[in-house]
Structure 1
Amino acid sequence: MNTSIVIADDHPLMLRGLTDFLTSKGFNIVGSAQDGNTAYNLIVKLKPEIAILDIRMPHKTGLEIAEACKKNNLPTKIILITFDKEEELYDKAKDFNVYGYILKEFAVEEIEICINHAINNERYFSKEIASYLNHNSNKKPVNLEQLTKSELKIIKLISENKTSLDIAEELSISVRTVDKHRSNIVCKLGLDNKPTSLSIWASLNKQHL
């Protein structure tokens, strides 16, 4: 396995717990930090395959690190862990192309799954955060029969945390075509236009796709 990982969390017990757990699973923890500046410097210096970051840390947040990595084209794949269930943070995580977004209370259960998704260039977002964000939704159940076969293929891939680029490559179509299908699906399902709405819906209804 030997995947190189940097872990950063300003809570020592969480940092130690994740480090010990992942080490026991055969992952290579090449560095750890308790603040954002140190974490970012480690990422720049060591270029680990994956960085697991607390969203809220002193000096630089996990989101700020993710933004900096995207801006500077750093190869490290970012996984964020947090107690926060704010939709704004979730949306920003998507915008910065993070590969994982996990609630801390489920970290031990989901972190290995999330890492394996990232290794395979797939994204993983806690189902619990999707459920929480949609908990008060008043939308009526949707009949999937109104979607075309192509749209059903695409929404199934979206439920697997695939990006538009991933889907385009898998189906041998253009990203523009994928985005057009996504727009049609959003319209047919009666979803709002927030970037994460379709991903959340697909995740919650994955068993029906």
Structure 2
Amino acid sequence: MTLSPRILIADDHPMLLRGLEDTLKFNGYNVIASLSDGATALQMIKELEPDIAILDIEMPLLSGFEIIQKARLQEIKTKFIILTSHKEKGFIAKADQLQIDGYVLKDEPFEELKNCIEAVRLGNCFYSNSFTDIIDNQVKPELARIKQLSASEKIILGFIAKELSSKDIAQELSISIRTVQKHRTNIISKLELSENEVALKDWVREFQQFL
């Protein structure tokens, strides 16, 4: 009789999904479902109520983050581990914000995922070492800089996220182009970005969800 937690896994890459399932079973884990899209994964989480769900972030129909948000709104008791290749600050900041139970990178050895599962089943959180380093040294300072932005600057960033030009933003807000450009300069300074549009647009792509 197995004492393993009931585990559901979801990843949209068939070979990775099959490899993960086989490795988990070989190590004595009880895999009760293996899915390749987010919507089906969420439905099966509702029906099967696994102890742990191991999810990729980017999947068709629903992302791993969206599954977790919807499951928690419905007070599903499943614990969630993100298993991903993403090391970008924006993804890690989102995982931290959602207080996900575990976050492990795919390029780490299986032992790291095993340690994560064991920690989570005991009610603890477990994150890859690189996750903690990025949170402490990159994400937290970035979020602190966001708090320095004024309401007007956040609105300007919202339009930049939509790839509007300074002229278009000025028209939308009924202000002068010069005012928009002044806001851009202040934003770049507060966020400690290099003086170019590419750096600002890259930042917006990662962090607009926190504005």
**TM-score, scaled to structure 2:** 0.62
Alignment match of 2:105 (pick from 103, 106, 111) = 103
Aligned to 1:125: 127
User: Which residue matches 1:66?
Assistant: 68
Give the deviation of 1:134 after TM superposition.
Answer: 5.9
Distance 1:28 1:107 in 2: 20
Matched residue, 1:112: 114
Distance in 1 between the 2:121 and 2:31 partners?
15
Q: 1:107 to 1:77 in 2, by over 3 A?
A: farther
Q: Match for 2:14 among 12, 15, 18?
A: 12
Shift of 1:69: 1.4
Question: How many Å apart are 1:107 and its aligned residue?
Answer: 5.3
What is the 5 A alignment of 1:1-209? Answer: 1-106=3-108, 108-132=110-134, 192=141, 194=143
> How far apart in 1 are the matches of 2:138 and 2:88?
14
Work out the CA distance in 2 between the residues paired with 1:135 and 1:91: 12
Task: Work out the CA distance in 1 between the residues paired with 2:138 and 2:66.
Answer: 29
- Deviation of 1:13 after TM superposition, in Å, equals 1.5
- The C-alpha deviation readout for 1:62-83, integer Å capped at 9, x for no partner, is 0000111111110000100111
Percentage of pairs with the same residue: 36
CA distance in 2 between counterparts of 1:107 and 1:69 reads 28
Partner in structure 2 of residue 184 of structure 1: none
Q: Where does residue 176 of structure 1 map in the other structure? A: none
SS at match of 1:42: helix
Give the number of equivalent residue pairs.
Answer: 142
Alpha-carbon spacing, 1:15–1:194, altered in 2? closer, same or farther (3 Å): same
SS in 2 for 1:5: strand
Task: For 2:107 and 2:142, locate their aligned partners in 1 and report how far apart those are by CA, in whole Å.
Answer: 29
Structure of greater Rg: 2
1:53 maps to a residue whose letter is L
Asked if the contact 1:6/1:29 (under 8 Å) is kept, the reply is yes
**1:160-188 deviation digits (Å, cap 9, x = unpaired):** xxxxxxxxxxxxxxxxxxxxxxxxxxxxx
- TM-score normalized by the length of structure 1: 0.62
